[in-house]
Structure 1
Amino acid sequence: MLDQALTFGDGLDTLRWALAALSLLASLAYLAIVDRSPSLWRTGFKTASIALWVPLPLLGLHVEGASTLALVALAAAFLFSSLGDYFLALKGDARNFPRGLASFLVAHIFYLIVLAPLVSASAGWQLWGIAAVAILAIASLAWLWPKLGAFRAPVILYMAVISLMAVAAFSVPLPWLGIGALFFVFSDVVIAVDKFRMPVPRRGHVVWITYYGGQALIAASLIGLLR
């Protein structure tokens, strides 16, 4: 899957692999200090992990038959995801959580722009994946509801959009794409549970591993498909 996403034979493959490697290194560096107090390094590693992917779809714009809209939208999804990571890495300002939520909301809308033309009839394992998304979203929202307070409307909107993104991902016949989207939903549920309901042990590690892993599966699947 990685080879399909990063090897085009157009003279830019070294750059693609370098960006992917730097992203992984930044992700591992952030994971190593995820529980430490906020710092420039901590924020920088977290933000860079996904930001380094922004050029990857754009490097495929020259490929004959490539969809400009889909590739630019995918780059925008990575960009707004990294912006969301930046806001959530900051502490000391209550406004950073809704800023991060809004950034990820926009990222999911861009993901939907990419996924919508690729959706096909779902069957078999895809239906199981869609059911898993629905159960996770509905059950977590019902459990969090009494504690959401003023965040009820934004959380409902966000949960609806990310769930729609995950359903769309499972409606494309690429197993790792749907699994990546489900990981993404799970990571956000853990964040919400930790913020609104109860502390989650090793929350930072659980969220980052499922979030970055999910994003990586989505990125590799879509770049490989859109090439």
Structure 2
Amino acid sequence: MQINRLPILILVMGVLYIFIIPEEPLVFKLFFKLIPMALIIFYAFYSLPKQKTKSHWLILIGLFFCSIGDGTIHWFIVGLTSFLIGHLFYLSGFIYQWKFSIWRAASIIPIGVYAWIIGSDFVQAVARSEDTYLVIPVIIYMTAIASMAWFAIMSGNVFASIGSILFVISDSILAWNMFVSPINNEHIFVMITYYTAQFFIAHSLRNFGKKHSRTVW
């Protein structure tokens, strides 16, 4: 299969899972849920340049852990832990691609404000629920994903930046629906932003390590 055709297959399998595959049986649903991520990992691996860097391998491992989180999110703590590990690998990979810019650095302000406002709502909602033991894990996860998004932006990579922001949006929708209040068609919004985020992060690997890689600004 030609690597350039994979994005189309990823799109088709993503649409199939989101809009067509039934909720039951769960094993059947999980199988199709993981197919787009498996294809995204495959796409990322075969998109790696000949001269691979630590960033390439770290982000590839991050994709793998996120796919585990995908399949285990029904067991919330297990899935959350897998995603957290994935974000830490992403964050580490982006750090190695650090390209300082005062404008990119300033993005920490809106990211921090957003994480504080949304995170406060999540923490308060969890604290009022029966799952108070989730307060600390939620705070740690929010800190990790916000940091991941900022370091992605600091890499100057367009696709990594967009992907990380979409990941924050996807997780925000999921958490809001889970802890604060129901969102109509939450599953559709979460999965569309999630698959798109992972694809952009995977696609960003093509430019990491290049002297003239495309940057945001």
Q: TM-score range by the shorter chain?
A: 0.7 to 0.9
Structure 2: how far apart are the matches of 1:57 and 1:226? 15
Counterpart residue number, 1:87: 72
Counterpart residue number, 1:132: 110
Structure 2 unaligned blocks of 5 or more: 127-131, 211-217
Counterpart residue number, 2:58: 73
Structure 1: how far apart are the matches of 2:192 and 2:21? 11
Q: Is the 8 A contact 1:177 1:221 kept in 2?
A: yes
Structure 2: how far apart are the matches of 1:188 and 1:62? 30
| Structure 2 CA distance for partners of 1:116 and 1:182, relative to 1, 3 Å | same
| Structure 2 CA distance for partners of 1:147 and 1:115, relative to 1, 3 Å | same
Q: Is the 8 A contact 1:112 1:165 kept in 2?
A: yes
SS of residue in 1 equivalent to 2:206: helix
The reply to whether residue 21 of structure 1 matches residue 8 of structure 2 is yes
Deviation at 1:34, TM superposition (A): 6.8
1:1-227 to 2 correspondence within 5 Å? 14-33=1-20, 36-59=23-46, 63=50, 65-67=51-53, 69-88=54-73, 90=74, 96-124=75-103, 126-127=104-105, 129-148=107-126, 149-226=132-209
Deviation at 1:210, TM superposition (A): 1.2
Deviation at 1:61, TM superposition (A): 6.2
| Structure 2 CA distance for partners of 1:72 and 1:176, relative to 1, 3 Å | closer
SS of residue in 2 equivalent to 1:199: coil
| Structure 2 CA distance for partners of 1:195 and 1:43, relative to 1, 3 Å | same
Deviation at 1:50, TM superposition (A): 1.2
CA displacement, residues 31-53 of structure 1 (integer Å, 9 cap, x when unaligned): 11477345333211211211223
Structure 1: how far apart are the matches of 2:21 and 2:185? 10
Deviation at 1:80, TM superposition (A): 0.9
Deviation at 1:113, TM superposition (A): 2.1
CA displacement, residues 103-124 of structure 1 (integer Å, 9 cap, x when unaligned): 1011111112211111121333
Q: What root-mean-square deviation, in Å, do the aligned CA atoms of Structure 1 and Structure 2 show? A: 2.3
Q: Name the TM-score, length of structure 2 as normaliser.
A: 0.84
Q: Name the TM-score, length of structure 1 as normaliser.
A: 0.80
Percent identity of equivalent pairs: 27
Q: What is the number of residues matched between the two proteins? A: 205
Structure 1: how far apart are the matches of 2:81 and 2:190? 18
Structure 2: how far apart are the matches of 1:35 and 1:146? 33
Structure 2: how far apart are the matches of 1:128 and 1:213? 25
Give 1:170's aligned amino acid: I
